[in-house]
């Protein structure tokens, strides 16, 4: 799927990147929060059946046009989330209890003719 507003030097139209997400990052004992108003976050649920029963798996794709500071282990919340300032608050921010929260497993920057067009993350 081509996620398509043109950026300088990129032939891709990012008009589907119209969601707001909050990215939480932990660096040592400091916590940061960055809100991106031009993101695309897609959730995917798959179910597989084998001889022992069925199993459900969840995954996601996050696209942020331009450059974005994303790292494996970051937490991403759909919408604008609250500030996180303590270890306790960071630990409480888990997908099992916070709807719309995912944890980044990989980050991949995408380029066109040497210009970074967007950042993809998933898990």
| pLDDT tens, residue by residue, 112-123 | 888 888 999 999
DSSP label at residue 82: P
Mean pLDDT (the chain, rounded): 88
* Segment 51-76 mean pLDDT: 90
Q: How far apart, in whole angstroms, are the C-alpha atoms of residue 80 and residue 22?
A: 5
Residue 71 has pLDDT above 60, yes or no: yes
Q: pLDDT tens digit string along 1-45? A: 344 444 555 667 888 899 999 999 999 999 999 999 999 999 988
> Exposed/middle/buried for 61, CB within 10 Å: 0-12, 13-18, 19+?
middle
> Exposed/middle/buried for 116, CB within 10 Å: 0-12, 13-18, 19+?
middle
Higher pLDDT, 51 or 122: 122
* Residue 112: predicted pLDDT: 84
């Amino acid at each position: 799927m081509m996620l398509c507003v043109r950026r300088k030097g990129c032939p891709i139209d990012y008009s589907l990147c119209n969601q707001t997400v909050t990215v939480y990052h932990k660096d040592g004992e400091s916590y940061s929060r960055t809100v991106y108003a031009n993101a695309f976050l897609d959730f995917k649920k798959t179910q597989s059946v084998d001889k022992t029963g069925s199993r459900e798996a969840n995954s996601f794709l996050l696209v942020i046009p331009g450059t974005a500071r994303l790292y494996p282990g970051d937490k991403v919340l759909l919408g604008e989330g609250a500030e996180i300032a303590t270890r306790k608050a960071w630990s409480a921010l888990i997908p099992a209890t916070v709807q719309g929260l995912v944890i980044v497993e990989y980050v991949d920057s995408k380029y066109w003719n040497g210009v970074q067009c967007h950042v993809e993350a998933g898990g």
